[in-house]
Each structure stands twice: as structure tokens, then as C-alpha cells.
Structure 1
Amino acid sequence: RRTEVSEVDGGLRGPFDPSVSLSLSACPPLGLESLRVDDSQMRASSYERTGLGPHRGRLNIQSGLEDGDLYDGAWCAAARDRDQWLEVDALRPTLFTGVVLQGRSSIWSWDWVESYKLQLSNDSETWWTVLDGGREVFEGNRNPETPVLGLLPVPTVARFIRINPQTWFSNGTVCLRAEVLGCRVPDPDDVDASDPDPGSKDVLDFRHHDYSEMRKLMRSVADQCPDITRVYSIGRSFRGRKLYVMEISDQPGTHQLGEPEFRYVAGMHGNEVLGRELLLNLMQYLCREFRAGNRRVVRLVTETRIHLLPSMNPDGYEEAYSKGSELAGWADGRYSAEGIDLNHNFPDLNNIMWDAQENLGDPRRTANHYIPIPEYYTQEDATVAPETRAVISWMQDVPFVLSANLHGGELVVSYPFDCTRGWTPQEATPTADDAFFRWLASSYASTHLVMADPARRLCHYEDFQVHNNIINGGAWHTVPGSMNDFSYLHTNCFEVTVELSCDKFPHASELPAEWENNKESLLVYMEQVHRGIKGVVRDKTTKRGIADAVIRVEDHDHDIRSAADGDYWRLLNPGQYRVRALAPGYLPSARRCSVDTEPRPTVCDFTLTKTPVQRLKELRAGGAGGSFTLPARRFLNRNYGMKSLSKFKSILN
């Protein structure tokens, strides 16, 4: 039988007497893509093999490089006829409003459904076909990747829905990926049924924000917490949109001596939108909780200078946003407006370092930090996005210590190096700080509510749980020119990539739950900026800080440098370390520094004494020609004797 739904008082009333809005936006996806719909809720008439079973018929699910394994990119029927179907059990009465269809994800096969019927049922036995006027058939796909929306002419209440393909690509088979749109409705026969958890108790603006709305929200947060916030721009996108940053600190706009600088970057790929919304949530949360006196937040804000860049690629985001969460596909909006993948657009310093090591034959003789940007990269005709240039300038201007780059489409945290040595597609390529990077990655992954769940389903085809949900970037897939590697080799900043969720563009209804999934992880990761050692490198005589002093940890082939005021931060795991401070014109200084297990840095200050030659250069600065000033002569006579005059003249000249 067909369940009739009629309009009453501007709403809909079906067999269970629900009252819901006619607006399509009121009925979100059931959750095939986000995995809220369990594999057990999906059935099919047949399937070609296990890897093409009904559980693989999820919107935007991806296959690996090989077809034929357990993780192919669609449901594919065993037969090419019109009796095939994919069924979804909503588990309770649901007001179905539509479906979204997509073809098969594969680099070897082209398969998609060109037309289909929709059938509904309350018991999975008696079915009726949805009619669109006098037509039973809905239009499907014209290629494998572009999602196509099919709306029911009249939203209808049922429990089960079937997609019944009628025609398909002539050279392909019956394959599809799908999402189902529907609203939960109350069932009077189930007195124990309750509405799902709203997702979060935090009162935040849980919705997607376009560029204009993002600016307004950031300004609103700044107005609510003017004493701890500052909104600034680091540059513009190709289409002229500003790259806005929210700074949160007890002294916004000022670098405080000894206080580390932290950054989160989101939206590098414009269609991976969850990071953008999480950072907008985070700035609201920090503002509100600071005002409420939350001790943890107060401590974090007063001891850390936090920078949040919610949208590195605003042009790409606007492209994805214009299509919406279910219709943007897997790649629409990923690239900049110029078609550049920003995560492959930073200078490749890895191979510069490795080539130098091979040519010199001794890694200790080559630079292991602050590797300069090659000249070709700075040319006007170089293929460098304005977004990339803006972020590089930002990274050079601010002495960042720790960062994370927020992405989407998987559940894993990857750490440098991202680029493999020798251009192999996959090979573990650790940094000198591999142990600490694994700690950083674990600090996020182990506190993420879904990532850390051992019972969770794989997003696509890779099982990261065998690696505790962390992986070396090169071991996953090589990424030359990544922001992570550039940050590590050109600046002091350690950075990881966080893949936040299986769904790159979650529906707005998923955002409260995603905030809860990530909230603790976002806070815990920021707190890691206070691990290791920190201090100030000063001149013994003037007591002023020494900029660009090299901080070298014994048995760690990666140095860092002091900031403009002489302060430094060196992230380290617990242990005992011998640390040296070196600066041009100064005698090196060494000391032992101990790091314990608490996330509180050990203070290791250094006082450097100028070398005799440097002191002589400064003493002679007021003299003329090749002669020494009287103070210089007295210094030499007292410390080295007059016979040394000729020797020092030759050095200085």
C-alpha cells in the first residue's frame, strides 16, 4: 500500500501524525556518507563480490588503486537487469524527501546509473513505486563523480527505501553510490523511542558559514571578547578574499617574551570544510569559557598566543558551498581558483636537503633547519598561489612553535616527512624528531571520540587503526611541497595534518556531533606547545636577547633558532638532554636540560660571551684605517700582549 501524506497547517501529516516542515533543508542525510547508517542497514538484490557489496554504496566512498579487493568504490549488482536494487533501512518511520546518486569510484572502470526508480515500504515486503506526476523514472548520473539529486514529488513517510536502476552507462555495469535524505518522525507504537542526542551541550553557531558569514562571526567573537582577541588578515586569495586570522591571547597583537605561538590552519582544500567550522566553533568556545572563568581555558589563553586561520582557500570553499554538502562531490572546491593544490605548492626543501647530504657525504655538514627558499620559487612567473605566498610570509613573521593543518575525508593524523626520498609513492620517511611527532599525532588521535574507537568502520579502504590512527606522511602517500615539511625545514614550527572525518563536507546537522568528536583533541593538541624546553639567549654584557641563536640538542639532527627577542622553544619528549646555544660572534654555551612528563616546559636560559675577535671588531668600530683605538690597544695588551697586535690586525683586516 502507499502511505499518503497531506498538507495540514503548513506542514505534513503522515500515517504517524508527524508535523514537519516542507523545507528540504529540514530533512538531512540519513548518514550513508558519514557512516551513521550502519552496514547492517544496507541490503541489495545481488552484488558482484564482497568488495562491491551494498555496504560500499555510500556517497563519495573511495576505492584504492586496485580493483578487486574488499574495498571497491560502489555497490555493483551481479546482473545487468532492471530487477536489481539497493535498499536502506532507516530503522524507524522517516519522512523521505530524496536521494543523491553517484557512479562508481575507480580509476579502471566507468560505471554509473543513468535512470532509476524509487520504492518505499514499511515492512520490506510490500513496496510501492514513487510517482513523479505520471513518471516512475528519475534521471540519474552522466559521469561517475558528479552527484545528482532526485527529489520525491511528495515527501513520504516509510521505513525502507529502495533505489531500482533502470538504465546504466552502456559500457558499464549496474553500480552506484548514494545518500538518502529524510526526517525522523515519531512512532506512537514505539513508546521508548526518543529523539537522537542533539550532539553537543555547547551553545555555538553550528551551521556552515560562507565568506561573509564567517567574517561576521569572527567580528562578533572579537566584540564579545575584545581583551583577548584580534582579527587580522595575512593576505588575499586569487579572487581577492582576505585570509582572516583570529588571534586569542591575553595581550593580543603582542609577542610576549617566553610565550609560545600556536596556529591552526583549516580550509587548505576548500571542499574539506569541517576544519573551518571547528575553528569557528573553537574561537567561540575559548571566548565564552574564558569569560566564564574556565581554569583550563584561562591558563591556555594566558600562557599561549593562539592564531586560528579558518579558511586558507576561501575561493575553493565558495565553490563547494554553492553546491552544498551532498552535491559538491569529492573534489569540487579542492583547488584554488587558479587550479592549484595548495598542499603541493610550498617549496620542496626536502630534496634540497637530501641532495646536499649526498653531495657532501656527511649529513652533519649540511643545513638541517632554516633551509632557504630556492631562488626559482620567488620569481614572478613561478606557479605559486597568492594564498601560499601569504601563508609563507605569515610563517616567517611569527615565531610559531606548533601547528596543525586540518583536512577531511579520512580519520587519521599524519606527520612529517610527507615527501619520500627518491620519489617513491609510499615509504616511511621520518624526521630527526620522529618520536616527538608520533607523540603529537597520538595526542590528537587518542582523544578524538571516533578516531580512538576500536569498533569504528573504515572510512574508505585503508585501516589506520593498525597504526593507532597515526601515520608518517610518506608511508601513506608522498606529498612533495607540503606545508608540514616546509614548516619543519624552513621555520622552527612542528606541524601535523589532521584528517578530521570520513565526510569532507558534513551536513550542518552533523556539526554538533563533530564538535564533540574533536573538542578535546583540539584543546589537548594546543597544550602540547608547552612540552620540552624554552628559554632566552642573552648577551652577557648587555643582557639583551640574541636573535637567531642556534639551539642544538645533542643527538638530534635538527636545530631551531631564537626569535627576535632571544626567546626560543624546543619541543622534546621527556628525558635528559645536552643543549648548546650558538650565535655568530659569541662563544658557544652548553648545559644539561631535563624534561619531565608534565606538559610544562623546562626553562633553560643561556648567556653568551662575545668572542675576542668580535669584541675587538666592536672596539675598533670607532677607529680609522688599520690602527687600533686606545681601548683596543689596552684590551690587547692586558689579555694577549703587544706581540698579538699584528696577528689581530691581519684577522680584522
Structure 2
Amino acid sequence: MEVRIVTTLLFMITTTYYPRVQSDKLSFDTYHNYDDLTKFVKKITEEYSNITSLYSIGKSVQGRELWVVKITSVIDLLTVPNIKIVGNIHGNEPIGRELIIHLIEYLLKESVKNSTIQSLLQTTVIHLFPSMNPDGFEMSRPKTCIHDHRTNSVGNRGNARMADLNRDFPDIFYYKERSYQPETKAVVNWLKSVPFVMSLSLHGGSLVANYPYDSSSNSTQYKMKKLNETLQLNNFDLLFSKLSSIDPSVNDNVFYESLTPDDDVFRYLASAYANAHPTMHKGYGCKESVEFKGGITNGAAWYETSGSMQDYNYEMHDCVEITLELSCCKYPPASDIITYWYENLEPLLLWTKQVQRGIKGIVMDRQTGAPISNAKLMILGRDKTFNTTENGEYWKVLLPGPYKLHVDARGYESKTIHLKVPGSMDPHKVDKPLTLNIMLEPYQPEPSTVRNTNLYYVVSRGHSELTDVLRLTNPKMEHSTVNIYELGSDISDFGEDDYTDDVEPQSVLSSAGSASITLSSLILALWCYASLL
């Protein structure tokens, strides 16, 4: 307790870089309920309408709006990164909720006089979502923790239907039929509509920065899922192999790391936050039986769970999200809010700056200059693709160093680019991302392909599948001759790269017969066959 008091006093004294909030609207000695929150966000966004907007991403089970405040001073938003901070996913963990409410006020008041905040708002779009679970919050109440460092669980962790929202997202390792909660659906649709680059999820009950994955392919749950898939294949050799991999003597309370392809970035962001926090980096802030080296942990290494929001953010939308446990008490007394504010203000601001690391740009058609949407990009060596927006934009948080960027888009020649991300590993020294606009050449078939080429299709016995759908890139192909060959091997042995236009068919396929027909006849035959299925 003495350490926290001293820490608070130091933060109050050293406010030249991050001035203390002189609040005439919000109080630090109370938790703000839904009505208070609604009145506040409506009033302050009206007052600062030049740089803010208020919107709702949906409603809770009990009909409460899921309010988000968007803050930026940028006029032209093209290639400007979006970040978000989400609080109160668990109803009885409201410290994050209060921090976000006060952060809204802080950023707006400081935007007129603080050069650091002005620079942040001129380069970033910030979405602040104080309460993902307003129903759960209204059903909870604070309680003093025993011996100060013990967690408590007073109130409702889940939403109004008692569902844990941080177990409710689609999981990459463990698929389960479920009816998703309205709050979860709202976040899923939100992620589809805004191309978020980075995100924070604020929790309580411990003191650590947690990074993906939370779920793991090593879990018994995941292995049972794969076993069920094997049973459906009727492959008994594979079935016995799967069964032998499930050791009933294994203690499921022993967990192992489950790492993402961007593990270096996640560890860096988690460490940057923990090191900026006065006590988190020590790794034992809550006197738990487990210590967190450097104040960070991989989610699955701490304890495995499926359906977490941070895993879904990263896997489905390439949004780099980490989960912050900010208070040993899940719902500490309101008198402690001011302490948590001063402990986390600098780390929060430092984290927002890290979105300017890495690369960004627009993928365009070289001939027309038009943006290419849904182009797929990948950092070679990292098994994770990310897509361009409808405006052709892309972002990727990367640490300084050399990389190879591969770009692919339908109808265009693929491209691999060698690049070097500049900068320092010091989280306080972040300049701006490497801007790399990429021009792709439209795919142009060779002239001989249009005039003379026979397009070869592989039909597998018993599958009735065609590989490589006709590339109708030129009207002259409408009357091209097509050779069809039956092949004894399985169709899965052939992919898109098996299409060939310069090799004799006998040298590639074991011919069991062929027929030469026109394209129009082929399409008619396929349609007739499909109608019989």
C-alpha cells in the first residue's frame, strides 16, 4: 500500500509531460453508471464536435446503447490508422471503464494545449469504448478486497444472460455451435466496418499484460475436436493415431505458450506497457502464486481459454490486441480510481504511439491508379495474411528490421518487395511508419495463350470437380478448344499452380481418353450434370 501511495504522489508531482486533469465534469471518487456515462459522452462530443463523434455499435441484452467516442483531428483519413480501447467486458471489472471515461475527457481538454496530444490526434483515429457490458456493470457493486492484494468477484461477470463475453467469440482452434450474444455480435460487426490496427482490452483481477493466443492446439479440448473430425472421415488408421496423442495422464492445469506469427510484436507491445507502469513490470503486483516475468504473459501459458476477444481480433482482422489486467481487485473501492488513473495514463499514451511503427500504404493498379481492394499481403516467414480495405489501404505493425512483403490480388501479377523498417526499439522514440504504395500490373496472358492454347482440366473419378475455372480474360477464348482428361489420382493433389499451357497433356496426365469440344458445349454439359445431382 505504501508503494502505491508514493507512486501516486510521484505522478501528481511529475505532470509537466502529462498534465493532471483539471476536471470540472467528472469525479474521480465515484463509478459512473449508464445514465451518467450517456449524459457525459453526449455533452462532451457536442462541446468538442470539431474533433469528436459519438456513435453506438449496437445494444446490450437489456437495450442499453454500446457507446463509442471517436476522436481525431485528421481531415483526410486515407491511410490514417484506427485504434480502439475497450473496457468493462466483464461486468464486475469496471476500472477499465472508468479509465476510458476519464481518458476521453483528458484527450479532449488537452487537445487545445498539449503538443503531445495534438500530435497524437493529428496522426491517429482513436475509438474509445468504455463499456462493452453495461448490463453486467449495473448488476455489480464494489467491495474492498481482503488484505488489499486479494481478488474479489462481487457482482455479475457476465452479461444479463450470465454469458462471459470474453469466451463468446469464434475461436480459431475450437469451433463450437453457439448463439452469440448481442454485445459480441455488435463488436464482430464493428470490426468488419472499421479497419482497426491495434486494440486494448481493459480488465481487472490481476496485474499483467496478456497477449495472444489464449486458445491452444495443445489443449485436450482442441484434440477432441480433431478426433471428432477424424471420426467423420471414417479413417481408422488416422483415428488411432489421434487417440494415441491424447494422454489421459496429462494434467490440463499445466499450460503452454500458444504463439502467433507476430509474437515479437505482441511481446514488444505488452512489454512497452508493463515497463511504463510503475509496478506491472515487476511481475508480482498481486502476490499471486504465479509470477509474470517482466509483467507480461502469453494467454495460453497463463491459462487456456477459447473464444477470447483478443484472439478473434488478431486472427480474423489482423488487429493487434492485448489484454491488460489493471487491478488486483476486480471491483476496487471508488477511492482507488485516482490511483489507477495515474498508474495507467502514461502507459496508455505510450501504447497509442506504437501504431506508428511498421509499414502502411495503398495497393493500386499501375495502369489506372485505382485502389485495389481485398488484395492479400503477407510478411514472408509469417504465416498470416492481411487484406487491403475498400480504398486499397493496408497497415502492419512491425519492429525495425528487414522484411519481404508479398502482395497478391485477383487479376494482377503477384509481387514481392524487399523493405527495411527504420526506427528505434525504444518505445518512446516512435516517428512514423514506412509509407509504401504498391503498384500491381494487371494480369496479361501471353498472345499465344489467346490464339492457340488448349486449356486443360483435370477431372477426378468419383469427385466430378474441375480445377482452375476458365480464365475468361479475352472474348476470343469463348471458342477455344478444351481437352478433358480423366485422372486416377485424387483431385486434392492438384492446385491452382497445376494449370499449364505449355506442356503436352500426355507428359502431365495419365490419359484415359479425351474429347475435344467447344467451350459452350462444356458449360452446357456441366449444367446438365449438376441438375442431375
TM-score computed with the length of structure 1 as normaliser: 0.59
Judging changes above 3 Å, is the alpha-carbon distance between structure 1 residues 583 and 275 closer, same or farther for their aligned structure 2 residues?
same
Task: Quote the offset at 1:461 in angstroms.
Answer: 2.9
Which amino acid in 2 is paired with 1:304? T
Query: 167, 175, 188: which one pairs with 1:392?
Result: 188
Counterpart residue number, 2:281: 452
**Partner SS state of residue 161, structure 2:** coil
Check the 8 A contact 1:411/1:459 in 2, yes or no.
no
Task: Quote the offset at 1:560 in angstroms.
Answer: 1.0
Judging changes above 3 Å, is the alpha-carbon distance between structure 1 residues 614 and 514 closer, same or farther for their aligned structure 2 residues?
farther
Matched, 1:202 2:202: no
Query: 413, 427, 448: which one pairs with 2:209?
Result: 413
Structure 1 unaligned segments of length 5 or more: list them. 1-34, 39-193, 353-375, 629-639, 641-645
Counterpart residue number, 1:496: 322
Q: 2-side partners of 1:563 and 1:595: how far apart? A: 22
Task: Quote the offset at 1:329 in angstroms.
Answer: 4.7
Judging changes above 3 Å, is the alpha-carbon distance between structure 1 residues 446 and 199 closer, same or farther for their aligned structure 2 residues?
closer
Check the 8 A contact 2:143/2:154 in 1, yes or no.
no
Query: 119, 144, 155: which one pairs with 1:332?
Result: 155
Which amino acid in 1 is paired with 2:135? D
Counterpart residue number, 1:180: none
Counterpart residue number, 1:270: 91
1:288-332 CA-to-partner distances (Å, cap 9, x unmatched) read 11112x111111111111101100000000011xx3344995142
Counterpart residue number, 1:105: none
Q: 1-side partners of 2:517 and 2:33: how far apart? A: 69
Counterpart residue number, 1:93: none
Counterpart residue number, 1:155: none
How many residue pairs get aligned? The number is 410
Q: 2-side partners of 1:198 and 1:508: how far apart? A: 21
Q: How does 1:589-628 map to 2 (within 5 A)?
A: 589-598=415-424, 599=430, 600-613=432-445, 620=474, 626=478
Matched, 1:435 2:261: no
Check the 8 A contact 2:207/2:328 in 1, yes or no.
yes
Judging changes above 3 Å, is the alpha-carbon distance between structure 1 residues 428 and 614 closer, same or farther for their aligned structure 2 residues?
farther
Judging changes above 3 Å, is the alpha-carbon distance between structure 1 residues 468 and 37 closer, same or farther for their aligned structure 2 residues?
closer
**Partner SS state of residue 417, structure 2:** strand
Matched, 1:531 2:354: no
Counterpart residue number, 2:235: none
**Partner SS state of residue 523, structure 1:** helix
Counterpart residue number, 2:103: 282
Counterpart residue number, 2:289: 461
Q: 1-side partners of 2:32 and 2:39: how far apart? A: 9
Q: How does 1:72-91 map to 2 (within 5 A)?
A: none
Q: 2-side partners of 1:608 and 1:614: how far apart? A: 17
Counterpart residue number, 1:545: 371
Q: C-alpha root-mean-square deviation of aligned residues, in Å?
A: 3.1
Task: Quote the offset at 1:580 in angstroms.
Answer: 1.4
Question: Does 1 or 2 have the higher relative contact order (CA < 8 Å, sep 6+)?
Answer: 2
Q: Determine which structure has the larger helix proportion and give its number.
A: 2
Query: 271, 291, 308: which one pairs with 2:128?
Result: 308
Radius of gyration: which is bigger?
Answer: 1
Judging changes above 3 Å, is the alpha-carbon distance between structure 1 residues 347 and 619 closer, same or farther for their aligned structure 2 residues?
closer
Counterpart residue number, 1:567: 393
Which amino acid in 2 is paired with 1:402? M
Task: Quote the offset at 1:460 in angstroms.
Answer: 3.5
Counterpart residue number, 1:101: none
Task: Quote the offset at 1:597 in angstroms.
Answer: 2.5
Check the 8 A contact 2:279/2:285 in 1, yes or no.
no
1:446-478 CA-to-partner distances (Å, cap 9, x unmatched) read 101221357x753433222xx100000000000
Counterpart residue number, 1:133: none
Query: 251, 255, 258: which one pairs with 2:79?
Result: 258
Check the 8 A contact 2:142/2:334 in 1, yes or no.
no
Q: 2-side partners of 1:625 and 1:575: how far apart? A: 46
Q: 1-side partners of 2:307 and 2:298: how far apart? A: 16
1:494-541 CA-to-partner distances (Å, cap 9, x unmatched) read 111000111222222211221110001111111111111111100112
Judging changes above 3 Å, is the alpha-carbon distance between structure 1 residues 493 and 246 closer, same or farther for their aligned structure 2 residues?
same
Judging changes above 3 Å, is the alpha-carbon distance between structure 1 residues 534 and 410 closer, same or farther for their aligned structure 2 residues?
same
Judging changes above 3 Å, is the alpha-carbon distance between structure 1 residues 36 and 604 closer, same or farther for their aligned structure 2 residues?
same
Q: 1-side partners of 2:446 and 2:390: how far apart? A: 20
Judging changes above 3 Å, is the alpha-carbon distance between structure 1 residues 442 and 342 closer, same or farther for their aligned structure 2 residues?
same
Task: Quote the offset at 1:433 in angstroms.
Answer: 0.9
**Partner SS state of residue 308, structure 1:** strand
Counterpart residue number, 1:643: none
Judging changes above 3 Å, is the alpha-carbon distance between structure 1 residues 625 and 566 closer, same or farther for their aligned structure 2 residues?
closer
Counterpart residue number, 1:404: 200
Task: Quote the offset at 1:564 in angstroms.
Answer: 1.2
1:552-580 CA-to-partner distances (Å, cap 9, x unmatched) read 11111112111110010011111001111
Judging changes above 3 Å, is the alpha-carbon distance between structure 1 residues 510 and 413 closer, same or farther for their aligned structure 2 residues?
same
Q: 2-side partners of 1:529 and 1:347: how far apart? A: 26
Q: Determine which structure has the larger strand proportion and give its number.
A: 1
Counterpart residue number, 1:318: 138
Q: How does 1:70-469 map to 2 (within 5 A)?
A: 197=9, 200=12, 201-204=20-23, 205=26, 206=28, 207-251=30-74, 256-292=77-113, 294-320=114-140, 323-326=141-144, 329-351=152-174, 382-423=178-219, 424-425=252-253, 426-452=255-281, 457-464=285-292, 467-469=293-295
Which amino acid in 2 is paired with 1:303? T
Task: Quote the offset at 1:594 in angstroms.
Answer: 1.0
**Partner SS state of residue 446, structure 1:** helix
Structure 2 unaligned segments of length 5 or more: list them. 13-19, 146-150, 220-251, 425-429, 451-470, 481-500, 502-515, 524-533
Task: Quote the offset at 1:347 in angstroms.
Answer: 0.6
Check the 8 A contact 1:218/1:231 in 2, yes or no.
yes
Q: 1-side partners of 2:446 and 2:71: how far apart? A: 41
Q: 2-side partners of 1:199 and 1:401: how far apart? A: 30
Q: How does 1:5-24 map to 2 (within 5 A)?
A: none
Q: 2-side partners of 1:411 and 1:444: how far apart? A: 12
Counterpart residue number, 2:455: none
Task: Quote the offset at 1:218 in angstroms.
Answer: 1.1
Q: 2-side partners of 1:445 and 1:462: how far apart? A: 17
1:7-57 CA-to-partner distances (Å, cap 9, x unmatched) read xxxxxxxxxxxxxxxxxxxxxxxxxxxx4599xxxxxxxxxxxxxxxxxxx
Q: 2-side partners of 1:609 and 1:340: how far apart? A: 49
Q: 1-side partners of 2:9 and 2:162: how far apart? A: 40
Check the 8 A contact 1:325/1:506 in 2, yes or no.
yes
Judging changes above 3 Å, is the alpha-carbon distance between structure 1 residues 429 and 540 closer, same or farther for their aligned structure 2 residues?
same
**Partner SS state of residue 462, structure 1:** coil
Which amino acid in 2 is paired with 1:417? Y
Q: 1-side partners of 2:446 and 2:89: how far apart? A: 46
1:51-94 CA-to-partner distances (Å, cap 9, x unmatched) read xxxxxxxxxxxxxxxxxxxxxxxxxxxxxxxxxxxxxxxxxxxx
